[in-house]
Amino acid sequence: MIIVYKSKTGFTQKYAELIASETGSQAQPFDKVDMKKLKEHDVVVFGGRCCGGVVDGLEDFKKQAEKNNVSNLVVFCTGATPAAMTDMIEEMWQQNLTEKELVTIPHYYMESGICYEKMNFADKMMMKAFRLMMKKKSDKTEYEKALAKAIEHSYDNSSPENARPLIEKLKAYQE
């Protein structure tokens, strides 16, 4: 088993390393993986951050997995959306996986947070614009009010418990 991840601010890396540690596998950054060797692993896990509803790197990874005959693919993403927002998370998965993939590829969402200190300039500007848009909106829903408050500052809601369902699934593959 191998855990391949794409991380910008560290949340996805932290989860990938936790999953690898708990399953006795290895975690490697997406840009350091020899894609031709993926088929040597019985299970390949890909993790990326969710930003603007898109799982960063997932499309490229799915193409590489198909090209290299990966048969057991599992996907996870991390994001600032509260895990309780299941409808929003399901909508995100529908944007990132085809109808067939939604059924055939196990996929997991893990709440993490926001780390402005590690964001690149473009991401900081995008978040600044989003914060301004949210601030100016007059008829906010309760969720939007909570979101506007949450994105004011960096925070970390990541927890080993958020990864537990995926870790249990991967341990079942190993039995």
Q: Tell me the pLDDT tens digit for each residue of 83-97.
A: 888 888 999 999 999
DSSP 97-164: S-HHHHHHS-EEEEE-EE-GGG--HHHHHHHHHHHHHHHH-SS--HHHHHHHHHTTS-EE---HHHHH
Residue 39, pLDDT above cutoff 80: yes
Residue 97 CA: distances (Å) to CA of 4, 102, 108: 18, 6, 12
Among candidates 80, 15, 11, 101, which has minimal Cα distance to 3? 15
Residue 138 CA: distances (Å) to CA of 85, 129, 131, 133, 148: 22, 16, 13, 10, 12
pTM of the model: 0.87
Residue 6, pLDDT above cutoff 90: yes
Q: Output the pLDDT for position 91.
A: 93
CA dist., res. 121 & res. 85, Å (int): 28
Residue 46 and residue 66 in contact, taking contact as beta carbons nearer than 8 Å: no
Residue 118 and residue 84 in contact, taking contact as beta carbons nearer than 8 Å: no
Q: Output the pLDDT for position 134.
A: 83
Among candidates 130, 116, 128, 120, which has minimal Cα distance to 53? 130
Mean pLDDT check: name the lowest of 7-11, 103-107, 161-165, 171-175.
171-175
Could you count the other beta carbons within 10 Å of the beta carbon of residue 41?
A: 17
